[in-house]
Amino acid sequence: MTITREEARAFTIRMLAQAGTVLTEEEQAAVEVADMGLGELARSGLQLITYVNNERYCAKDLVLLPGQTCPEHRHPPLSAANPGKMETFRCRSGVVYLYVEGEETLRRQARPPAGSEPYYTAFHEVELRPGQQYTIAPNTLHWFQAGAEGAVVSEFSSASHDESDVFTDPRIRRLPDRG
């Protein structure tokens, strides 16, 4: 399955509306479509809208297409005073399978995208359904994948510095892309 950036943006706006989120025209135009430089958006990527991101905190909504995976990464320390981003994911619609470091879950619900398996190492599964949340400590390897209907996840975190994220897959380029 292939999907264009405009189709992904429209899907994101629809999913957020179904979850009860009203976006202004400016916010709709600011929806970011991140294919991570892999060119396989339907399999690996993420759509998001950032509501606020300042030196103290950040609030975003993350939207995943059905089966779409946000690749494994961590938010490293940025300085002696900044241990890296701590984030809480709260599922608002659909189901999201979050994988973090820890004891491996043997009967996992999600799988890394075919061909990218060597770049996934965290396999402790946390299943999030609407109303459930999980906090990820700074510098923790994690990745996540939507279930069959796609998913909307609200992210509440310390300041976000996406350009500093460290991805396990060296092919990934995480640059803002609103085009």
Domains and CATH numbers, the chain: 5-162 (2.60.120.10)
DSSP H or E segment with residue 14: helix 5-18
- Positions of the chain with pLDDT lower than 50, given as ranges: 178-179
Q: What does residue 27 show for φ and ψ, rounded to 5 degrees? A: -70, -40
**Contact criterion met (CB below 8 Å) for 62 and 152:** yes
Residue 115 identity = G
Residue 63 identity = V
pLDDT of residue 79: 93
Q: What is the pTM of this model?
A: 0.95
Mean per-residue pLDDT of the chain: 95
Per residue in 48-66, pLDDT (tens digit) is 999 999 999 999 999 999 9
pLDDT of residue 178: 47
pLDDT of residue 26: 97
Q: What is residue 25's DSSP assignment? A: H
DSSP string, 112-175: PPTT-GGG----EEEEE-TT-EEEEPTT--EEEEEEEEEEEEEEEES---GGG-EESSTT----
Cα–Cα distance, 134 to 60 (Å, whole number) = 15
